[in-house]
Amino acid sequence: MSALRCPAPAKGGRTDRTSGPAALHMRLARQVYGLLEDLSARRVTEPGLTLTGDLALDSLRMVMLLVGLEERFGFELAEADINPFALKTAGDVVRLAAGYLAGKGGGRSA
């Protein structure tokens, strides 16, 4: 999988709608949703779906989710982010990955 990077602006200093920050976030969300779909065998279409409820991820699959994030996106989770049950929704997983990809470490707020 290729790393998600913010593209250089197009001529005139603007980025087009398919390569700006919103588009990058959507591509990241689709990749995270794909990982969640692989683990749950259910379609993931919105950030509010709960991991243990809607997607029925058990403890083993929650750990597999964290390992999958590290492998798919090429970062290593900090010890503070290793508790899989701190993640409640699909959107939480996207924010966690986005925080690491932006170089800010974990995506969770305290």
Measured in whole angstroms, how far is the alpha carbon of residue 60 from the centre of its chain?
Answer: 18
Residue 13 lies in a domain: no
User: What value does the mean pLDDT of the chain take?
Assistant: 84
Cα distance between residue 21 and residue 14, in whole Å = 12
- Kindly state whether residue 3 falls inside one of the protein's structural domains: no
What pLDDT sits at residue 84?
84
Q: Which domain holds residue 69?
A: 19-101
In sequence order, the 6+-apart residues with CB closer than 8 A to the CB of 35 are 65, 68, 69, 72, 93
Looking at the domain assignment, is residue 67 inside a domain? Answer: yes
Dihedral (Cα; 20, 90, 42, 18), 10-degree rounding:
0
pLDDT at 8 over 70: no
Task: Note the pLDDT of residue 110.
Answer: 37
Task: Please report the sign of the dihedral spanned by the C-alpha atoms of residue 12, residue 30, residue 54, residue 89.
Answer: negative
pLDDT tens, residue by residue, 9-64: 445 444 445 668 888 899 999 999 999 999 999 999 999 999 999 999 999 999 99
Number of domains into which the chain is organized: 1
pTM of the model: 0.77
Measure the CA–CA gap between 10 and 54, rounded to whole angstroms: 41
What is the C-alpha to C-alpha distance for residues 20 and 9, in angstroms, rounded to an integer? 9
CATH number of the CATH domain containing 89: 1.10.1200.10
